[in-house]
Amino acid sequence: MSTDVLTLNIPDFLERELRLVNQEFLTEVLARGLQAVKIEHALEQYARGGISFGAAAHQAGVSLSELARHAYGRGMEPPFSVETLAEELSTSFHKSVSG
């Protein structure tokens, strides 16, 4: 993985918190936060009718079933499709076999 240096202006309280963590942890926090924001924005666009559910999943960079789980968590009813069901069953099966 290649890396770049990024300079950010952040509030003092956040800077103090971040000085206490290592780079690996900070990178994980940023990656998870970015993913969460992408999912939120995609669901907002879907809810407004701006994009399809499939397009929202693609925009967020997640599978249909993962986006459906986030949608349900926000009280939304994502559309049901055979593709989503197959993906859910496949994911559940792989988890039960490997876990």
pLDDT in tens, 20-76: 888 888 889 999 999 999 999 999 999 999 999 989 999 999 998 899 999 999 999
Residue 25 lies in a domain: yes
Tell me the whole-structure pTM to 2 decimals.
Answer: 0.69
Report the number of distinct structural domains present in the chain.
1
Residue 40 lies in a domain: yes
Contact status, residue 40 vs residue 67, Cβ threshold 8 Å:
no
Joined tokens for residue 55: 């397009």
Contact status, residue 53 vs residue 67, Cβ threshold 8 Å:
yes
Instruction: State the residue range of the domain holding 74.
Output: 14-98
Q: Which residue has the tokens 């939120």?
A: 40
Contact status, residue 80 vs residue 72, Cβ threshold 8 Å:
no
